[in-house]
Amino acid sequence: MASGMTRLVGKVAIVTGAAQGIGRAIAMRLAQEGAQVAIADINDSGAIETAHEISSTGARALGLKLDVTSLDQALAAIEKVERELGPIDILVNNAGWDKVEPFVENTPETWERVIAINFRGPLNLCKAVIPGMQARGRGKIVTISSDAGRVGSTGEAVYAGCKAGLIGFSKTLARELARYNINVNVVCPGPTDTALLRSAMAQRPGVLAAMAKAIPMRRLGQPEDLAGAVAFFASSDSDYATGQVLSISGGLTMAG
């Protein structure tokens, strides 16, 4: 555990899509702050690798296979994590996916996949985790949306629709769950240097450099840039903040 960072000691967290990228950095950070962390990803070998890396620092971690598009799998994953690590205090909905192309070229099959992962995925995890949080009278739900959902993003129409949907969904959950001491907040990354961004932009050379130039801080985000904001919303430091949306984008977007 990093010295001076003990906000999450005794807490149990589950982070979806944490085999790599932003989710992995979030899982590492929650563990550094003292949480036991379950890493749930469709890529089970990557999830187990992240869990091993966390365990090697002395923290307790569990890697497991989860396809967030399946409610049955979400229910089974929550049950397994609660059996092995204890009741879940923190859910981070991070798994996401996109195929970048103009909307008119999208096939309905692409929409279905984008909606299943990015929108239905968090619904499934919330459905599985909330009853236990309500019974215990505490919980933190942090959902990774995107600045695409706030301001739009060329080539990402359906994805942006899902990410905007997550904001409305989270604000509503925040209202419904406040009386149970469950906080629901949203973190919106701007362009962040991960496999997702690189594959999305593979056909558009020069776009990453142009993006970096347009960002007031003159660089793309790194996965670690997101982790502190998520740890804040996962901790008691944010006990009186709910239904909030925080962009971490080097100043590219600024909320009105």
Ligand X SMILES: NC(=O)c1ccc[n+]([C@@H]2O[C@H](COP(=O)([O-])OP(=O)(O)OC[C@H]3O[C@@H](n4cnc5c(N)ncnc54)[C@H](O)[C@@H]3O)[C@@H](O)[C@H]2O)c1
Please name the residues in contact with 249: beta carbons below 8 A apart, sequence gap of 6 or more.
147, 188, 189, 190, 191, 215, 221
**Is 159 among the residues known to form the active site?**
yes
Counting contacts by CB under 6 A, is residue 250 touching ligand X? Answer: no
Q: Which of residues 110-129 bind ligand X (CB under 6 A)?
A: 117
Tokens for 241, please give them: 């903040």
Counting contacts by CB under 6 A, is residue 146 touching ligand X? Answer: yes
Task: Considering the candidates 97, 119, 159, 233, report the single residue annotated as catalytic.
Answer: 159
Distance CA 98, CA 197 (A): 9
Q: CB pairs under 8 A, 24+ apart, for 103-109?
A: 103/157, 103/158, 106/157, 106/158
Contact residue for ligand X among 8, 12, 20, 91 (CB under 6 A): 20
Distance CA 167, CA 136 (A): 25
Counting contacts by CB under 6 A, is residue 66 touching ligand X? Answer: yes
Contact residue for ligand X among 27, 33, 37, 67 (CB under 6 A): 67
Q: Which residues pair with 90 in a beta bridge?
A: 13, 140
Shortest distance, position 247 Cβ to ligand X, whole Å:
10
Per-residue HEC secondary structure of 80-136 comes to HHHHHCCCCCEEEECCCCCCCCCHHHCCHHHHHHHHHHHHHHHHHHHHHHHHHHHHH
Between 30 and 42, CB nearer to ligand X: 42
Contact residue for ligand X among 15, 23, 173, 186 (CB under 6 A): 23
Q: Closest by alpha carbon to 18, among 86, 96, 89?
A: 96
Shortest distance, position 179 Cβ to ligand X, whole Å:
28
Between 52 and 175, CB nearer to ligand X: 52
Shortest distance, position 207 Cβ to ligand X, whole Å:
12
Shortest distance, position 226 Cβ to ligand X, whole Å:
8
Active-site residue set: 159
Q: Could you list the residues that contact ligand X (CB under 6 A)? A: 16-17, 19-23, 41-43, 46, 66-69, 94-97, 117, 144, 146, 189, 191-192, 194-197
